[in-house]
Amino acid sequence: MAAEEQNDPELLSLDTGGTMTDTFVVDHEGNYTVGKAQTTPEDESEGVISSFDDALGYWGTSIEDSADTLRGTVYSGTAMLNRLLEREGEGDIGVITNRGFEDTHRFGRGIQSWVDLPYSGRLHAREHEHPDPIVPRENIRGVRSRIGMSGQELVPLYEEEAREAVEDLLDRGVRVICVSLVYSYQNPGHERRIKEIAEEVMAERSVDVPVWLSSEQNPVRGELPRVNSLILEAYAVDPSREQLHGIEEALEEQGNDAPFRVLSSSGGTISPDHDWLVETMISGPIGGIFGAEFLADELGIDNLVCSDVGGTSFDVGLITEGHYPTRWDQSLAQFMVNIPMTAMDTIGSGTGSYVRVDKASNRLEVGPDSAGYQVGVCNEESGLETPTVTDCTAMLGYLNPDYFLGGDIDLNVDRAEEFIEERVAGPLDQDPYETARGVLDIVERNMTNELNAMILGLGYSPENYHLVSYGGGGPLHAAGYTKNLEFRDVLIPDWAAAFSAFGCATADYAYRYDHSMDLLIQPDLSNVDAVATALTETLQELRDQAEDAFDRDGIEIDEMQFDPAVRMQYTGMLDDLEVTIPREIWSGELTAEDVVDVIDVYEREFERVFQRAAQSPEQGYTVTMAVGTGIAPSPSPTLPEEDPVGETPPEAASRGEREIYWDGTWHDADLWEMSKLQAGNVVDAPAVIEAPATTTLVPPGFEAPLDRNRIFHLQQTDQ
């Protein structure tokens, strides 16, 4: 966006990906600027400071001069997930569970053997493999105890066994003890007693080891995902707090003392000091969905596909009828977890994906491993010798070798061509340029298939949806992965490179708490009084938890708005739906009449989501979960507004010409500086629109008009 005379940064949002660190900075009037820098995995604060300074440079200022005006910072990233994927977390974790359940974590479920594999891998049993357990079997102890599914005590806790289990784990040198018992979400008494026993033992030994309870972290149904979530908190999340505090301290050294928050997978932002951070593990990719939701609301779009092309992955989410679903059956690195996550699918096709020739089949293979922040062999300083997707795009003329990250990284196109020819094209006995284009065809076809499968799986078709393309590689590949799908429109914001960070900027301060329930509502509604009482009690407890969290963060309770919700289903159904209880219904408690009104809200939501499914009120209803979210407003951006001018781009925006390879032919493409294009301009093909943080390809058969909100509309002209 064009710089104002005075821009005082008010909100800084961050997205630290595996390749790049993006910053999105909002000023006191809602204007924004975007920055980008290489991610620095060893110390993320270095990449954050560089990216923030890069963003402020477009406003003619610097961190030293402007950091003190910030009112808040929101972080998102993949550091925690990468720690898990690369098995670089901290071990020495002890687990206490019910006797007979000691192998739950190790055995897992069948789905864990294939859940994160690409489509081709799911078809072949030879590729199915359970993830290695994080906690070794010898660090898991079982004690006799049993709570029933309704919360009743069936077998008392054998306290002496619990004491022996604690002593044994302490002897083994564990640094944290995780306690997860069957149905503890219904009755946490046995878990709490084990914690008391552990504290007694540690007092006797003069040691201090944290004891974490699954009933406190996430009291929801699912024994395997509940223990997995607790273990991941200890293994990958808790060690990452040091990185988060390092970023916070680096900003403080620049004169900023504003609150530092972390984006959660359910949509709010929470303190890095929050007891449980496991739901922030995939905050980076999910930020884009929240940004897309904001965009859809502002533009009046009901159905929107969110597509994020990063250095390591292609992430896709759907907003249908203004709604994006929340799932509890998600996986992290093949481990099933039961934390609330915005529904999103991921495949390992990113701009940094390695390109090889399979020696057995003599076919091209792309990914799933990636060069990440090292980019490719075209980045000589990386020392890489295996080419990547970025090397292919560079040698086909799509990237400006002198303008990658604004010139911070020089791309050696000759080196990319050398390695593509030697390692890929040569073994296949093919032309290197046709081979490079073939690599992109494979990558973009995989993306196309993923989009099509997600949309068709809901009973819709691409013609029902708009698509927004973002991430550093989204604008570069959008034409390729959308050309065979007839979307209503393809949107590319000029801030696409930092769109996930933009999504963070749209998020409010929010703490969400969930509690599984099994409340059956009879078909004749004869027991709604009892249901109302049980729901009121649980929702009030969730509200108290949210208030405690805001109080700990120093936010006035009066500023908090409490949004209660339930998850419901027709009794006997497999899928439940989350239903927000309207504010006119919730007054701090629920009556029988209120429960009837909530049922009406559920049935309207059911009809909207499952348009072709039959409603079944004759089966009665089941309330499966109570949800309570405390929300406080935070600064947020606004969409830019510019008066459209003529269709012809100004001469000042021209950067000359460059040859690009498309459909087996070289074309002379016009080059344009993105920031100098004006609202109303139409970029005709073939063209490349360049910016320091991203590149937009407009190949033959396309055009890209720029609207008043600085959003390009990539449109096919040869249909």
Q: In this predicted structure, what is the pLDDT of residue 612?
A: 63
Q: In this predicted structure, what is the pLDDT of residue 330?
A: 78
The residue among 331 and 526 whose pLDDT is bigger is 526
Strands 682-684, 702-705: pairing kind: antiparallel
Q: In this predicted structure, what is the pLDDT of residue 1?
A: 43
Amino acid at 592: A
**How does DSSP assign 276-300, residue by residue?**
--GGGTTHHHHHHHHHHHHHHHHHT
The residue among 484 and 82 whose pLDDT is bigger is 484
The pLDDT of 568-584, averaged and rounded, is: 88
* pLDDT tens per residue, range 297-318: 999 998 999 998 877 778 888 8
Position 677 pLDDT exceeds 80:
yes
Average pLDDT of the chain to the nearest whole number? 87
Position 321 pLDDT exceeds 60:
yes
Q: In this predicted structure, what is the pLDDT of residue 348?
A: 67
Residue closest to 274 by CA, chosen among 510, 503, 53: 510
* Ranges of H-type helices in 124-172: 159-171
Q: In this predicted structure, what is the pLDDT of residue 192?
A: 97
Where does the pLDDT of residue 6 fall: very low under 50, low under 70, confident under 90, or very high at 90 and above?
A: low
The pLDDT of 319-332, averaged and rounded, is: 76
Amino acid at 165: A
CA–CA distance, 54 with 32 (Å, rounded to integer): 13
CA–CA distance, 427 with 514 (Å, rounded to integer): 55
The residue among 164 and 613 whose pLDDT is bigger is 164
Q: In this predicted structure, what is the pLDDT of residue 366?
A: 80
Most confident of 83-97, 393-407, 637-651, 677-691: 677-691
Same fold? 9-84+241-257, 510-632? no
Residue ranges per structural domain of the chain: 9-84+241-257, 92-174+176-209, 353-441, 510-632
Q: In this predicted structure, what is the pLDDT of residue 395?
A: 93
* Token pair for 270: 């929470």
What is the pTM assigned to this prediction? 0.80
Contacts of 574 (CB under 8 A, 6+ apart): none
The residue among 494 and 266 whose pLDDT is bigger is 494
Where does the pLDDT of residue 379 fall: very low under 50, low under 70, confident under 90, or very high at 90 and above?
A: confident
Position 676 pLDDT exceeds 60:
yes
Contacts of 537 (CB under 8 A, 6+ apart): none
Where does the pLDDT of residue 34 fall: very low under 50, low under 70, confident under 90, or very high at 90 and above?
A: confident
Per the omega criterion (within 30 degrees of 0), is the bond before 188 cis?
no
Q: Chain centroid to CA 705: how far?
A: 30
Q: In this predicted structure, what is the pLDDT of residue 3?
A: 42
The pLDDT of 108-130, averaged and rounded, is: 77
* pLDDT tens per residue, range 426-482: 888 889 999 999 999 988 988 898 888 888 877 778 998 999 999 888 999 999 999
Output the CATH code of domain 9-84+241-257. 3.30.420
* pLDDT tens per residue, range 188-203: 999 999 999 999 999 9
The pLDDT of 629-648, averaged and rounded, is: 85
Q: Chain centroid to CA 407: how far?
A: 29
* Token pair for 660: 């690009």
Position 266 pLDDT exceeds 60:
yes
* pLDDT tens per residue, range 334-355: 888 888 777 777 776 778 888 8
Return the residue matching tokens 């604008």.
475
Position 85 pLDDT exceeds 90:
no
Residue closest to 424 by CA, chosen among 446, 392, 382, 390: 392
Position 26 pLDDT exceeds 60:
yes
Return the residue matching tokens 């070794």.
136
Q: In this predicted structure, what is the pLDDT of residue 5?
A: 53
Q: In this predicted structure, what is the pLDDT of residue 207?
A: 94
Amino acid at 100: G
The residue among 401 and 491 whose pLDDT is bigger is 491
The pLDDT of 61-81, averaged and rounded, is: 80
Asked if residues 351 and 309 have their Cβ atoms less than 8 Å apart, the reply is yes
Where does the pLDDT of residue 12 fall: very low under 50, low under 70, confident under 90, or very high at 90 and above?
A: confident
Fold of 510-632: Dna Ligase; domain 1 (3.30.1490)
Calculate ∠ Cα 281-390-308, nearest 5°: 40
CA–CA distance, 48 with 291 (Å, rounded to integer): 20
Where does the pLDDT of residue 11 fall: very low under 50, low under 70, confident under 90, or very high at 90 and above?
A: confident
Asked if residues 197 and 162 have their Cβ atoms less than 8 Å apart, the reply is yes
Asked if residues 185 and 516 have their Cβ atoms less than 8 Å apart, the reply is yes
Q: In this predicted structure, what is the pLDDT of residue 502?
A: 85
